[in-house]
């Protein structure tokens, strides 16, 4: 077999095996050394290739697809700094447990570490951030090496999803010439419907003894709270709300938990806890005697203060596989078991627990007060909070919302009230960066589900290159930019009092007219100055199929003031009414 035939069969077997194991999307960035993989991916009928020039954006785009579809996505790039550009998204995928199969092309061994062009050290390039790393062999096409190729492909997809999902990295040395020959007979090799690593993968489940022990610990308690952090299992909301109903407990549901929206019963869902817990006296009064938290910590800072002030309270943290997501130091017992199964099992374990009704009622009362004030009133010039409030009102049923970090996710926490609408909420809360948001949102949008991306001006600027994908693939998305001309979140921090240097260092106004960017990428641009105007403009954007960017300009000081005013109103009414 000549070089080209060996190259073709080796690569084709790998690519086909990825597809047999569930890979249907690959994001490719242009390059020469990656030709074998890129062309073979394009040739494979079961895999859709997305071509994205900027590798940093490409990796976040893949992350967005993977978060949306909950399935692994592949990435292909050439050797050199191209691969280094993947690092931010890989870090995010690591911490938010998203399966990515990163395939980097490399110079062959004889061109490494000798000053050859575009050759960098790529072995373990991403260190501990990937779950699994494999250096592939120089292509060979003996039956054994084709089995090797398929085996690594199958295992890469499996490892990306084993236990807590995450990124894996496979590095491919290729020698020139790099073009495959697709005219070869039986190029795809010995594929079958069956993966090279077939597996029945079980879920963790507590046995009856463990369940009884758990119930035993809760028997004497009265004031429990169920806390739901960010998660994306579609069955979880139904399961956890059933448990909460069964036990009569309040659920503090983070906006990213998927618990605030959907058809499940939400009577026990207390979405206003961020505002409620801002007051120290309230936090004291509402001291719980146990906490069951599913998933990571909620974004809410007041919730953090709440648990900090009640360190000795018995807390259970549930992880589907494993993990140590307990940043406060609370007395914690971990439960490593599938969340959905756990809820069902707890419901069915005797004896049935019966908790104090007043406790839940008080949470509900405070929640109503909170919602009333947050949803009422209107400022002359739209504030950030009002922008998000408007969005939550008009966002279509059966659509997705990708939320940026910094102020965006905090405002969604405040204004995302329980709703029967099916809204799936995604975010990059692994590392909470402001990078890659446009690409992440577009990756999620590529699935076809109507998608809204909510973010600040700095985040929008950081990944403006990501807009090219919208143009190139005519993706349908509404991007709502809340522009406070800089790092708005810093206005809330102590540093804000530092007049000197503050504006330059923390205000960081981008001072850029985004309209030009939107035009460059063939999108529709609109601006809104009031809440009503915004609702109108958003509605219109949802009718438009393609890239729609809606911008709201807010004032940082006005935002901070408005938030504080609302919290004060809520606090006053909570403390001065009721018991």
Q: Of residues 413-432, which lie at the interface with a copy of itself (CB under 8 A)? A: 429, 431-432
Going from the C-alpha of 177 to that of each of 108, 478, 479, the distances in angstroms are: 12, 44, 43
Burial class (CB in 10 A: 0-12, 13-18, 19+), 113: exposed
Restricted to residues 479-498, the positions that interact with a copy of itself (CB under 8 A) are 486-487, 489-490, 493-495, 497-498
For tokens 């504006």, the residue is 503
Query: With b meaning 16 or more CB within 10 Å and e meaning fewer, what string describes 386-412?
Result: bbbbbbbeebeeebbbbbbbbbbbbbb
Q: Does 506 bind a copy of itself (CB under 8 A)?
A: yes
**Is 311 one of the binding residues for a copy of itself (CB under 8 A)?**
no
3-state class of 170 per DSSP?
strand
User: Quick one: which segment of 319-327, 443-451, 546-554, 571-579 binds a copy of itself (CB under 8 A)?
Assistant: 319-327
Task: Decide if residue 2 touches a copy of itself (CB under 8 A).
Answer: no
Starting at the edge strand found earlier in the chain, the sheet holding 451-456 runs: 423-427, 399-403, 451-456, 477-483, 547-553, 524-528
The smaller minimum CB distance to a copy of itself, of residues 143 and 329, is found at 329
Kindly state whether residue 106 participates in binding a copy of itself, applying the rule CB under 8 A. Answer: no
Q: What SS3 state is found at 73?
A: strand
* Rounded CA separation 157/166 (Å): 10
Residue 499 near a copy of itself by CB under 8 A = no
**Position 511 contacts a copy of itself (CB under 8 A):** yes
Q: Return the number of the residue (11 or 35) whose C-beta is nearest a copy of itself.
A: 35
By CB under 8 A, is residue 306 in contact with a copy of itself?
no
Window contacting a copy of itself (CB under 8 A); options: 115-123, 137-145, 199-207, 213-221: 115-123
DSSP 8-state class, residue 258:
S
Subset of residues 262 to 291 that bind a copy of itself, contact rule: CB under 8 A: none
Residue closer to a copy of itself, measured from CB, 132 or 334: 334
Selected range binding a copy of itself among 116-124, 284-292, 353-361, 539-547, rule: CB under 8 A: 116-124
The per-residue DSSP string of 109-120 comes to GGGSSS--TT--
Among 341, 394, 510, 558, binds a copy of itself (CB under 8 A): 510
Q: Which of 519, 557, 568, 575 binds a copy of itself (CB under 8 A)?
A: 519
Q: Which two tokens stand for residue 518?
A: 């939107």
258: left (phi over 0), alpha (psi -120 to 50) or beta: left
Would you give the end-to-end CA distance of the chain in angstroms? 85
Size of the site for a copy of itself (CB under 8 A): 93
Binding residue (CB under 8 A) for a copy of itself from 468, 528, 538, 550: 468
Segment 123 to 152, residues that bind a copy of itself, using CB under 8 A? 124-125, 127-129
Interface segment toward a copy of itself; rule CB under 8 A; list 98-106, 160-168, 276-284, 294-302: 294-302
Least spacing, CB of residue 537 vs a copy of itself, in Å: 22
- Closest separation in Å from C-beta 36 to a copy of itself: 10
Asked if residue 33 lies in contact with residue 83, where contact means CB atoms within 8 angstroms, the answer is no
**Rounded distance between C-alpha atoms, residue 14 and residue 7, angstroms:** 11
Q: How far is the CB of 526 from a copy of itself (least distance, A)?
A: 17
Alpha-carbon span 439 to 457, nearest angstrom? 15
Residue (399 or 432) nearer to a copy of itself, CB: 432
Among 205, 357, 516, 564, binds a copy of itself (CB under 8 A): 516
- Which 3 state secondary structure label does DSSP give 93? helix
Our finding on whether 441 is near a copy of itself (CB under 8 A) is no
Q: Is 517 in the site for a copy of itself (CB under 8 A)?
A: yes
Q: For the CB of residue 41, give the shortest distance to a copy of itself in the complex, in Å.
A: 9
CB proximity list for 206: less than 8 A, separation 6 or greater: 214, 335, 337, 342, 345
What is d(CA 477, CA 442) in angstroms, rounded to the nearest whole number? 7
Q: What residues from 22 to 61 belong to the interface with a copy of itself (CB under 8 A)?
A: 28, 30, 32, 35, 38-39, 42-43, 49, 51, 53-56
- Nearer to a copy of itself by Cβ, of 173 and 433: the residue is 433
Instruction: Kindly tell me which of 510 and 558 has the beta carbon lying closer to a copy of itself.
Output: 510
Gyration radius (Cα) of the chain, Å: 25
> By the 8 A CB rule, do 291 and 225 touch?
yes
Give the footprint of a copy of itself on residues 205-244 (CB under 8 A): none
474 near a copy of itself, rule: CB under 8 A: no
Among 508, 524, 533, 558, binds a copy of itself (CB under 8 A): 508
Helix (H) or strand (E) holding 75, with range, is strand 73-77
- If binding is defined by CB under 8 A, does position 164 make contact with a copy of itself? no
240, two tokens: 């956890």
Q: Which of residues 323-362 bind a copy of itself (CB under 8 A)?
A: 323-327, 329
Three-class SS of residue 411?
helix
The minimum distance between CB 292 and a copy of itself, in angstroms, equals 16
Residue 316, beta-bridge partner list: 292, 333
13 in Cβ contact with 149 (< 8 Å) = yes
Q: Which of 353, 123, 172 is nearest to 247 (CA)?
A: 353
Binding to a copy of itself, residues 68-97 (CB under 8 A): 80-82, 84-85, 87-88, 90-92, 95
Q: Are strands 451-456 and 423-427 parallel, antiparallel or unpaired?
A: unpaired
Q: Could you tell me the smallest distance in angstroms from the CB atom of residue 463 to a copy of itself? A: 9
Kindly state the smallest distance separating residue 316's Cβ from a copy of itself, in Å. 15
């Amino acid at each position: 077999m000549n070089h080209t035939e060996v190259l073709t069969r080796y690569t084709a077997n790998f690519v086909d095996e990825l597809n047999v194991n569930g890979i249907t999307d690959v994001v490719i960035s242009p390059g020469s050394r990656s030709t074998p993989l890129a062309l073979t991916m394009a040739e494979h009928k079961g895999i859709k290739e997305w071509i994205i020039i900027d590798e940093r954006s490409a990796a976040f785009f893949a992350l967005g697809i993977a978060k949306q579809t909950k399935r692994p996505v592949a990435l292909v790039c050439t050797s050199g700094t191209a691969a280094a550009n993947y690092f931010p998204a890989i870090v995010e995928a690591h911490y938010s447990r998203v399966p990515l199969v990163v395939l980097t092309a490399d110079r062959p061994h004889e061109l490494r570490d000798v000053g050859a062009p575009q050759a960098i050290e790529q072995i373990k390039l991403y260190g501990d951030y990937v779950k699994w790393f494999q250096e592939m062999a120089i292509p060979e096409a003996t039956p054994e090496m084709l089995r090797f190729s398929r085996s690594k492909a199958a295992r890469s997809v499996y490892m990306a999803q084993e236990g807590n999902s995450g990124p894996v990295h496979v590095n491919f040395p290729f020698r020139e010439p790099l073009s495959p020959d697709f005219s070869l007979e039986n190029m795809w090799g010995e594929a079958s419907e069956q993966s090279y690593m077939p597996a029945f993968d079980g879920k963790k489940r507590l046995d009856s003894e463990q369940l009884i022990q758990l119930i035993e610990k809760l028997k004497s308690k009265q004031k429990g709270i169920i806390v739901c952090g960010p998660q994306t299992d579609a069955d979880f909301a139904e399961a956890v709300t059933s448990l909460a109903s069964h036990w009569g407990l309040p659920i503090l549901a983070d906006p990213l938990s998927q618990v605030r929206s959907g058809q499940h019963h939400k009577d026990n869902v207390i979405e206003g806890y961020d505002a409620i817990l801002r007051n120290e006296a309230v936090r004291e009064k509402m001291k719980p005697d146990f906490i069951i938290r599913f998933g990571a910590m909620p974004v809410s800072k007041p919730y953090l203060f709440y648990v900090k002030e009640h360190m000795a309270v018995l807390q259970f943290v549930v992880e589907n596989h494993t993990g140590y997501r307990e940043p406060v130091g609370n007395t914690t017992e971990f439960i490593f078991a599938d969340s959905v199964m756990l809820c069902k099992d707890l419901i069915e374990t005797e004896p049935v627990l019966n908790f104090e009704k007043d406790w839940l009622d008080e949470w509900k009362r405070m929640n109503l007060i909170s919602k009333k004030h947050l949803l009422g009133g209107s400022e002359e010039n739209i504030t950030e909070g009002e922008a998000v409030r408007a969005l939550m009102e008009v966002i279509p049923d059966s659509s997705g919302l990708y939320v940026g970090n910094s102020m965006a996710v905090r405002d969604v926490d405040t204004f995302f009230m329980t709703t029967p609408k099916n809204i799936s909420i995604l975010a990059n809360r692994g590392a909470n960066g402001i990078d890659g948001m446009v690409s992440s949102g577009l990756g999620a949008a590529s699935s076809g589900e109507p998608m809204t991306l909510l973010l600040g001006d700095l985040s929008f600027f950081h990944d403006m290159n990501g807009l090219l994908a919208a143009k190139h693939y005519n993706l349908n998305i509404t991007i709502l930019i809340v522009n406070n001309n800089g790092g708005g979140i810093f206005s809330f921090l102590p540093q804000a009092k530092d007049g000197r240097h503050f504006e330059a260092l923390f205000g960081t106004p981008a001072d850029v007219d985004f309209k030009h960017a939107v035009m460059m990428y063939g999108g529709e641009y609109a601006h809104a100055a009031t809440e009503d105007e915004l609702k109108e403009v958003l509605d219109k954007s949802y009718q438009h199929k393609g890239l729609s960017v809606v911008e709201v300009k807010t004032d940082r000081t006005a935002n901070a003031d408005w938030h504080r005013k609302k919290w004060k109103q809520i606090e006053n009414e909570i403390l001065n009414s009721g018991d």
